[in-house]
A and B are shown apart, each in its own frame.
Chain A
Amino acid sequence: MSMTGIEEMRKISEQRWSDLKGAEKVAYIGAASCGHAAGIVKVIRAIDEFNEKNGLGIEKVEVGCLGMCSFEPMVYFQKNGKDPVVYGNLDGERIPTLLDGIFNKDHYPIEGLLGVLGEGYDDLPSIYDHPMMRPQRRIILENVGRIDPTNLEHYLANDGFKGLEKALKMDPQEVIDIVKGSELRGRGGAGFPTGMKWQFCRNAKGEKKYLICNADEGDPGAFMDRSVLEGDPFRLIEGMIIGAYAMGTQLGYIYVRKEYPLAIFRLHIAIRECREKGILGKDILGSEFDFDIEIMEGAGAFVCGEETALIASIMGKRGMPQPRPPFPAQKGLWGYPTNINNVKTLSTMPSIMRKGADWYSSIGTKGTRGTAVFALTGKLKNSGLVEIPMGTTLREIIFDIGGGMDEGKSFKAVQTGGPSGGCLPADALDYIVDFESLKDAGTIMGSGGMIVMDEDTCVVDVAHYFISFTQEESCGKCSPCRIGTKQMLDLLTKIKAGDGTRKELDELASLAWTIQNGSLCALGQTAPNPILTTLRYFMDEFREHVFEKKCRARVCKALIQYEINELKCIGCGACERRCPVKAISEKPVKVTTIKGSKNNIRVIDPGTCIRCGLCLETCPPSANAISKVSPIDRKDEKKQGGDGK
């Protein structure tokens, strides 16, 4: 297809889009993985049923995820061409009343109503004024949740491929200059200036060159890239073509983990669509530039996100990092110059091309331009996917967007950068989000995972969790990472078990230094970060574990006990039946309370108890007799009580 061809198509698309926007009855359905997990299928079925029964003629459009994950499943209803109204936390049973209200009675029920996807009207607030949305600035996520990700027309109608058209009219070097001018830094974690990276690859000599999109996304708790792939795959394709054109690449790969079937499915559709319309393949948009994209499914090893391991994996070898040099830009896939970028990095390109370098570099902070996409998870009120301008503080993200802690608990720590990042305490909440600032704080920006923890979290346990992750995911190649992380894990296990001493603490620090400086790839080099930050910010808690044998969050099993409060126990015996190791038995003697004497009171034998917590779960809420205690605390209490008397 030629440039004029795409103009025509855009016109048609715009017409169709405005038809859709003007339609009488539309239901936009949040159908990303998060929606599916939350049960959107039942909601869809209910809508279909109601629609059919009442002959409403509601048109359905499946869209990506708006990012308000804690409100899934979500549907936005459009009536009479007005901006759709977003409803969250839906279930199938509520649908009839809801649809009846909206479409038959002209009444928007208040339950689950989140706002209008657009300006507010008729007393309905705009969703962009929702606390979770207001501080956001959506560039990469611009279309996500608004358009049907598999519909090329939707994308075209929303400025899709305009950036590419512009780029194709320029000299490739000009494109790179714009990227350089935008000061965009890679969003895969390390924050390397993208323009520079492209320049290396453009300058490298090779008969062929490759562009790889890294969609391996293996950090626990991260789903930014998945959302982009599921919600706006055309955007990534556009970004890749722009990059390919700038660097002179003929073939691109999207390396995506197999665990993302929906993303893979939608990518396949989008790629096929682009090939059919002449946006991929030979002579793209009549520019004489050829480029195509293939999808490679990874088996989901975290280390395969590392560039050289990723390349090895595409070549069918074991995903093991290689020493650099040679850098992928010199000798990458099949020995040819290769550039690897993250999904978000590439998905930013269409906007930069369209709006210019100056526009982009006006957003964010001096060192880090643009926006950051975070997958906000943990013990928060509002979890989800957010895009904020660089420079926003952690506090704003957690307390304004995230709505603070759930269930009235207090904030303890936030982890960014996944297993390669660090854990920051409340004191560090005023750090702003950008590459340098987070590095100063001891963590890294990473690719966008943000896990918020409350007082019930034990930092030693958190460090243990991340190290066990990196140890398991260590490819096993280099000795510091393979053996060192195992040693750290063993030390933490020891500390968690209450067997730690001063020596273990010192060893942790020394090991961390060795692994950081000795490892071959960034997986190993950053693996100690969770330990180093927790040691730096939460030394008290480590000391408590080591010297007082106490876990204040009551997480480390060896340092807690379960206890039955005699006064509260109603003697139902539910806990005794549930206990897998028969640690609970009846107290042989009667217990006398103010209300009289009771039989059948249960007690737990701490020697037999394995701290599984099943009894606590089982005890009827009316009794609520079982609690988790730290034996040390109790000793202190007794002492204090005694003194008081």
Chain B
Amino acid sequence: MKITIDGVEIPIKEGQTILEAARDSDIYIPTLCAHKELPAFGACRLCVVKVDKMRGFPPACSTPATDGMIVHSDEKEVRKLRRNILRLILIEHPHSCIVCSERADCESIRGGPVKAGRITGCSMCPNRETCEIREVSHYLGISDMEIPMEYKGLPLERYDPFFDRDYNLCILCGRCVRMCQQIRGVGAIAFTKRSHNTKVGTIFGRTHLEGACRFCGACIDACPTGALSPKGSKWHGKADSSVESICTFCSMNCAMVLEEKWGRVMAAIPDRNKEYSRAYACVYGRFCIPAFLNDPNRLHYPLIRKGGRLSPVSWEEAFRYIGDSLKRFAPEEIGFLVSPYLTNESAYLLNKLSRDVIGSHNIDMISKFGRMVIQYLAEKGRASSSWTTLEDVEKADWIMLINNDMVFTHPGMPVAIHKARENGARIMIVDDSKNELEVESDMQVRIEPGSLRTFLAALTKLLMNNIKVTELEELDSFIDFRRSLDGLKLIDAVRSTGVLEKQFSAIEGTMRTSKKGVIMVGSRIMEDPVPTQILGEINNVLTILGMDRGFIPLLEEGNIRGIADSGCINGFRPGYVRDRTSGKDYLRMITGIRRGDVQALFISEGSIPPEHIRGAKFIVLSEIYPTDLDSMADVILPSAVFSEESGHYTSFDGRVWNLRKAAEPPGSALPEWKIISGIGKNLGGDGFEYGSSEDIWKEMEENIDFFKKDGRPPVPERKELLSVSEPGSIHLSEQMPYVVRYRGTPIHELVEDLRTYLEENDRIPREEDESAVEEAQREVV
């Protein structure tokens, strides 16, 4: 199938619009409201064309291309109409930068935008480098304006964190609104008013902070003008260089373009070219990366405690000192507590250093929920296969969300869930406290705190009533399982969970409709004294439904999955090969320190409570910012952050991502793999002679089946049933809500605007309250 545009024949695909076909063949048609990721809107009218046998001037963006169509895009009347329309648009959009006769000279001399209170002319627009209006004006040859501009004179909206809004520049293309409503599923903004008074705004004109905004910045990145601009990276102009990398703040690992200027990362823009994660980036990745990484408090030099004081030393000295010191301890007296933000390569080297060079098998990850889950899955033999992915989420027929705060822990995930819902999935929320996603779901079940086990057990019982499980009956565990279910009366479950019987059966009924379902569970299940029991009961449900896949634990830390894959998990070498020598896991290391069994520690982030490691004789700390542990450390090593090194990360669902270097580390800070290699070499270890992280990766790919292409074993069938616990409520231990962090430092501690946002949403105590909290804690101690 093909169409002709201005005499050029181009191929078309089924269902394409004229615009899509033209773009595929690199034919330019001016547009302002069209956006690749959004359905056609037809508002700007710049894409009008003429089509033989069609009346008037159909817009290319919403007119389907049909075989044999003859389209005229570069034709006199079309050009005239487009030009007239663009002139109309320019009446409302400050345009001196477009029509100024000095434009060319001016731009060659002046480097970046000039800060000013309000954007009315050329020099002040932060969007100058990427402005689509300029592009379209250039194409249509607009170099003068006869009609004077009508400045709308709307107040600037600067009172929200992260980004400013100047709707005097807005051309009402609706991209932001559609992004927010249709892609993000949030709907914080909408068109308000009518006629020339139409304006994008929030409900009742509230601030975004008070409204529904999640500060994902999707609106900004969709805006073709300078109406929306990020506060943090508004004025630095065009980047000197940019690299495709990822955000490492949560385990979704959204693809990001890191923009570098003057040697620092100045902005992180979601990578629109990556199918996988382009739409998910959130407040942390979009807005917090530069401020978090560039804080002047970053550690610059290795420090060694000499005579009670930390003094800067050279790397050689530091390595020598560490090597000499570690030699004083027996291997099993040394422990490794690994940051879940290291690259796969660094984790692999740490495994090598501890298990192979030193001979210590005391190695584990610093994490609560993630460590519990991965350890559980590894024990069950399920950690080595590929996990339920984001695509599974988007294509699911039902999704059950259990006890999680994903809007704050994984803000990208609701986007996938929204997409699933748009495709017809039913979203069910099962939670013992308020879930932000309630309005975006189809069923909300608020269960009594502590009754999650009972809820799952009752659900299991209902499923068992309706599904034949003949195969499962042969399992050894079946009899006990059956008996435990028999002991459960639905009426008791209703009483202790507070879930009505009809809600139970609605959920059960929905789950039975399809095996393409997903159960997601968040870290709030850690309040249960035995959280693995919950994992086991979820496994029961999936097993009865006959689903191999469909479980997503909302792992928090950026590379928790990757460092486990690479061997930094207790009991498993890289690729989940059983470690034949047993070592201590995190908790046993802590008790070991208290008992004096463990005396030396290598810790790669400072988020551990100081009391956990009190008593250790020698502590090496590699980190990026000063932490509470510094006063106990004997050596502090400045590490590079993810934008300063290359390597690989593995997202929660097992996808491997390239981390690319965008800037140099401060001072003499080194990438973690170099630090580990340095220590390894000083301990006389072999195999630390790497030229780059790429060499390490190659070694991993060569030596470990798991890292080979298609090296992961298939998902094993679920063949296990766990006896359900007695009905009733479990006494929960209170937990602080998880706050997103990197290498142990909560992001909001360095990003003021994030603090504001999280405070507003009660994720962290308000600053004024915080001292009170500390006071209270001190009293308790």
A residues with a Cβ closer than 8 A to B are: 301, 318, 320, 322-325, 471-480, 482-487, 507, 510-511, 513-514, 517-520
With A318-B191, A478-B42, A517-B56 as contacts: A487 and B147 at CB distance below 8 Å: yes
Q: Please, what's the 1-or-0 string for B47-58, where 1 marks a CB less than 8 Å from any CB in chain A? A: 010000000110
Chain B residues, CB < 8 A from A480: 45, 84-85, 88
Please, how many angstroms separate the alpha-carbon atoms of A418 and B20 in the complex?
38
CA distance A510 to B85 in the complex (A): 11
Q: How far is the CB of B77 from chain A (nearest CB, A)?
A: 8
16 contacts between A and B (CB under 8 A): A323-B41, A323-B62, A325-B62, A325-B64, A474-B194, A474-B196, A478-B42, A478-B43, A480-B85, A480-B88, A483-B196, A486-B195, A510-B84, A513-B84, A517-B57, A518-B84
10 smallest beta-carbon distances between A and B, as pairs:
A476-B198, A323-B42, A323-B62, A514-B84, A483-B88, A486-B196, A518-B45, A477-B43, A478-B43, A474-B195
A476 in contact with B172 given A322-B42, A482-B198 (CB within 8 Å) = yes
CB of A483 to closest CB in B, whole Å: 4
A503 to B, closest residue via Cβ: B146
Specify which chain A residues have a CB less than 8 angstroms from the CB of B92 in the assembled complex.
483
Q: Do the beta carbons of B196 and A318 come within 8 Å of each other?
A: no
B177 CB, nearest partner CB in chain A, Å:
9
Contacts of A513 in B (CB 8 A): 84
Cβ contact of A479, chosen from B63, B64, B88, cutoff 8 A? B88
Interface residue? B44 (CB, 8 A):
yes
Check if A483 sits within 8 Å of B42, measured CB to CB: no
Chain B min CB distance to A323 (Å): 3
Q: How far is the CA of A475 from the CA of B194 in the complex (A)?
A: 5
The CA of A475 and the CA of B193, in the complex, are separated in Å by 8
CA separation between A86 and B44, bound complex, in Å?
56
Q: Is B10 at the interface (CB under 8 A from chain A)?
A: no
Taking A318-B190, A323-B59, A475-B194 as given, write out 18 further A-B residue pairs in contact, using a Cβ cutoff of 8 Å, ordered by the A residue number: A322-B42, A474-B194, A474-B195, A476-B172, A476-B196, A477-B174, A478-B43, A478-B45, A479-B43, A479-B45, A479-B85, A480-B45, A483-B89, A487-B91, A517-B57, A518-B48, A518-B84, A520-B42
Instruction: Find chain A residues with CB under 8 A from B632 CB.
Output: none
The interface residues of chain B lying within 8 Å CB-to-CB of A486 are 195-196
Complex: how many Å from CA A484 to CA B195? Answer: 10
Q: How far is the CA of A474 from the CA of B45 in the complex (A)?
A: 15
Nearest A residue to B89, CB-CB:
A479
Decide if B43 touches A520 in the complex (CB within 8 Å).
yes
Contact B81 A472 (CB under 8 A): no
CB distance from B289 to the nearest CB of A (A): 35
Contact indicator per residue, chain B 31-42, by CB within 8 Å of chain A (1) or not (0): 000000000111
Q: Verify A518–B194 contact, CB threshold 8 A.
A: no
Instruction: State A580–B150 Cα separation when bound (angstroms).
Output: 32
Nearest residue (CB) in A for B61 is A323
Q: Which residues of A contact B85 (CB under 8 A)?
A: 479-480, 514, 518
Centre residue among A325, A472, A478 by max chain B CB count within 10 A: A478
Determine the distance from Cα of A82 to Cα of B57 in the docked complex, in whole angstroms: 62
| Closest chain B CB from A208 CB (angstroms) | 15
Q: How far is the CA of A320 from the CA of B92 in the complex (A)?
A: 21
Chain A interface mostly: helix
Q: How far is B695's CA from A38's CA once the two chains are assembled, in angstroms?
A: 92
B524, chain A: closest CB distance, angstroms: 33
- A487 in contact with B62 (CB, 8 Å): no
Q: Which of A325, A473, A478 touches B195 (beta carbons < 8 Å)? A: A473
B171 at the interface (CB under 8 A from A): yes
- By a CB distance below 8 angstroms, the chain A residues around B193 are 476
> Closest residue to A486 on the B side, CB-wise?
B196
A513 to B56, CA, bound (A): 11
Q: Which residues of A contact B91 (CB under 8 A)?
A: 483, 487
In the assembly, what is the distance between CA of A622 and CA of B84, in Å? 57
Contact B89 A476 (CB under 8 A): no
User: Which residues of the other chain, B, contact A318 by a CB distance below 8 angstroms?
Assistant: 190-191
Specify which of A301, A325, A473, A482 is in contact with B172 (CB 8 Å cutoff). Answer: A482
What CA separation (Å) do A487 and B148 show in the bound complex? 11
| A322 to B191 alpha-carbon distance, docked (Å) | 15
Residues of A near B59 (CB, < 8 A) are 323, 520
Task: Give the residues in chain A near B89, CB-CB below 8 Å.
Answer: 479, 483
User: Measured between alpha carbons, how far is A471 from B194 in the docked complex, in Å?
Assistant: 9
> How far does the alpha carbon of A518 sit from the alpha carbon of B62 in the complex, in Å?
14
CB of B9 to closest CB in A, whole Å? 23
Give Cα A482 to B198, complex, Å: 9
The 8 A CB mask of B75-86 against A (1 = contact, 0 = none) is 000000100110
Q: Which residues of chain B have C-beta atoms less than 8 A from A478's C-beta?
A: 42-45
Tell me the bound Cα distance from A324 to B41 in angstroms: 10
Complex: A476 Cα to B172 Cα, angstroms:
8
Give the CA-CA distance A511 to B191 in the complex, in Å: 25
CB distance from A335 to the nearest CB of B (A): 11
B190 to A479, Cβ gap below 8 A? Answer: no
- Note all chain B residues with C-beta closer than 8 A to A320: 191
Contacting residues, chain A, for B48 (C-beta < 8 A): 517-518
A325 contact set on B, CB distance < 8 A: 62-64
Complex Cα gap A507–B146 (Å): 10
CA distance A164 to B154 in the complex (A): 57
Q: How far is the CA of A218 from the CA of B55 in the complex (A)?
A: 27
Is A479's CB under 8 angstroms from B191's CB?
no
Closest Cβ–Cβ distance, residue A320 to chain B (whole Å): 7
Interface residues of B in 83-131 (CB under 8 A from A): 84-85, 88-89, 91-92
Are the CB atoms of A517 and B196 closer together than 8 Å?
no
Do A482 and B196 have beta carbons less than 8 Å apart? yes
- Min CB distance A150 to B, Å, is 36
Q: Give Cα distance in the complex from A517 to B43, angstroms.
A: 13
Chain B residue nearest to A475 in the complex (CB): B194
Chain B residues whose CB sits within 8 angstroms of the CB of A479 once the complex forms: 43-45, 85, 88-89, 171-172
Contact indicator B196/A471 (Cβ below 8 Å): yes
Contact of B194 among A301, A323, A514 (CB under 8 A): A301
- Complex CA gap A618/B47 in Å reads 57
Write out the residue numbers on chain A whose beta carbons fall within 8 Å of the beta carbon of B56.
Answer: 517
User: In the complex the two chains form, what is the Cα distance from A487 to B197 in whole Å?
Assistant: 13
Which residues in A have their C-beta under 8 angstroms from that of B84?
480, 510-511, 513-514, 518
Contacts A471-B195, A473-B195, A478-B42 given: A518-B81 contact, CB under 8 Å?
yes
Given contacts A323-B41, A479-B85, A479-B89, contact A472 B57 (CB under 8 A): no
By beta carbon, the residue of chain B nearest A519 is: B45
Near A by CB (< 8 A), chain B positions 656-700 give none
- Given known pairs A483-B91, A518-B48, A519-B45, the reply for A476 and B195 (CB within 8 Å) is yes
Residues in A with CB closer than 8 Å to B61 are 323
Q: When chains A and B are docked, how far (Å) is the Cα of A301 from the Cα of B194? A: 10
Q: Which residues from chain B contact A471 at a C-beta distance below 8 Å?
A: 195-196
Bound together, the chains give a CA A472 to CA B198 distance in angstroms of 10
The interface residues of chain B lying within 8 Å CB-to-CB of A472 are 194-195
A472 to B194, CA, bound (A): 7
> From B197, which residue of chain A is reached at the shortest CB distance?
A476
Q: How far is the CB of A329 from chain B (nearest CB, A)?
A: 15
Chain B residues with Cβ below 8 Å from A487 are 88, 91, 147
Closest residue of chain A to B90, judged by CB? Answer: A483
CA A366 to CA B81, docked complex, whole Å? 36
- Chain B residues whose CB sits within 8 angstroms of the CB of A485 once the complex forms: 195
| Separation of A323 and B91 alpha carbons in the complex (Å) | 24
How far apart sit A471 and B196, CA to CA, in the bound complex (Å)?
7
CA distance A552 to B197 in the complex (A): 33
A219 to B194, CA, bound (A): 17
Residue contact B171 to A517, C-beta cutoff 8 Å: no
Cβ contact within 8 Å between B40 and A323:
yes
What CA separation (Å) do A325 and B61 show in the bound complex? 11
Inter-chain contacts of A324 with B (CB < 8 A): 62
Residue pair B44, A514 in contact (C-beta under 8 Å): no
Q: Which residues of B contact A520 (CB under 8 A)?
A: 42-43, 45, 59
- Which single residue of chain B is at the shortest CB-CB distance from A514? B84
- Nearest CB on A from B553, distance (A): 35
Query: Are B40 and A482 closer than 8 Å at their CB atoms?
Result: no
In the assembly, what is the distance between CA of A26 and CA of B174, in Å?
Answer: 60
